[in-house]
Chain A
Amino acid sequence: DGGITQSPKYLFRKEGQNVTLSCEQNLNHDAMYWYRQDPGQGLRLIYYSQIVNDFQKGDIAEGYSVSREKKESFPLTVTSAQKNPTAFYLCASSSAAGGLNEQFFGPGTRLTVL
Chain B
Amino acid sequence: RKEVEQDPGPFNVPEGATVAFNCTYSNSASQSFFWYRQDCRKEPKLLMSVYSSGNEDGRFTAQLNRASQYISLLIRDSKLSDSATYLCVVNMLTGNQFYFGTGTSLTVIP
Contact = CB atoms under 8 A, between A and B. Distances in A.
Interface in B92-110: 93, 95-98, 100-103
A102 B46 contact: yes
Given A42-B102, A42-B103, A100-B49, A105 B97 contact: no
Nearest to B101: A42
Interface residues of A, number: 26
A52 B100 CA distance: 25
Contacts of B87: 42-43
Interface of A: 31, 33, 35, 41-43, 45, 48, 50, 88, 90, 92, 94, 96, 98-108, 110
5 contacts: A94-B96, A100-B34, A100-B51, A101-B96, A102-B46
